[in-house]
Structure 1
Amino acid sequence: MATRTPPRFVPTLTEVVQGAAATPASAPVAEEQLVHRIMQRVDLTLDRRLREAIAAVVVEHSRALAPALRQEIEAVVAAAVSEALAEELGAQGKPPPSQR
């Protein structure tokens, strides 16, 4: 009995055949895995982009708010210093200096 050599493109038992041997039951699993992988990628992209967008908005608002905050802080500090000076001078029995 002569042994025949199989054609060149016929898969052997050691090779995994993709596609043709897939059973109908494996299709939903493959689809679920695909959806899961896509959702992971979308999640990572959204997370990065949202962080960047939020950071840009925070910086923009901080820059716009800085002058008003500076003015308010200066007023509060000036009032606190004036009050402390008045209390200190009042404790010593001296009249407070006139404010300009």
Structure 2
Amino acid sequence: MTFDAPRQPPRFVPTLTEVVQPNSVPVAPATPLGFMSSEALEDQIIHRVMQRIDLSLERRLREAVAAMVLQQTQSLVPRLREEIEFVVRQSVSDAVADELATRVL
């Protein structure tokens, strides 16, 4: 074994970047690269949840409104038929009455 060249440490060796003083007041550590503060993480989670809720809510509201419109339209059909029948009968009756009135004169 020869010790001619200095030995290189592995590429990814953790290193101490903070000096620790005895009896010092602990401070919140700086956020390491790649990690978020708890507030930023909370904001990001809230933002993502709201996006998912928006998409889901929009789809569900569209389906609910479509179902209600269909239901209301189907319940209107009998009433519309009655109203149309009444208007047609009244129009025919008025037209026949007008025709008979002009023929009698």
TM class by smaller structure = 0.5 to 0.7
Aligned with residue 94 of structure 1, among 96, 100, 103: 103
Distance of 2:13 and 2:90 partners within structure 1: 89
Higher relative contact order (CA 8 A, sep 6+): 1
Distance of 1:83 and 1:69 partners within structure 2: 21
Higher CA-based Rg: 2
- Which amino acid in structure 1 is aligned with residue 82 of structure 2? Q
**Number of positions where the alignment pairs a residue of Structure 1 with one of Structure 2:** 84
Matches within 5 A, 1:1-100: 1-6=5-10, 10=12, 21=32, 26-90=37-101, 93-95=102-104
Identical-pair percentage? 44
- Which amino acid in structure 1 is aligned with residue 37 of structure 2? S
Distance verdict in 2 for CA 1:2–1:58, change over 3 Å: same
Distance of 2:88 and 2:13 partners within structure 1: 84
Instruction: After superposition, give the CA deviation of every residue in 1:60-97 in whole Å (9 maximum; x if it has no partner).
Output: 2221221121111111122123223333443xx224xx
- Normalization by structure 2: what TM-score? 0.61
Q: How much has 1:27 moved relative to structure 2?
A: 2.4
Q: Which runs of 5+ in 1 are unaligned?
A: 13-19, 96-100
- Normalization by structure 1: what TM-score? 0.63
Distance of 1:21 and 1:39 partners within structure 2: 27
Distance verdict in 2 for CA 1:55–1:11, change over 3 Å: farther
Q: How much has 1:46 moved relative to structure 2?
A: 0.7
CA RMSD after TM alignment: 3.1
Distance of 1:86 and 1:11 partners within structure 2: 105
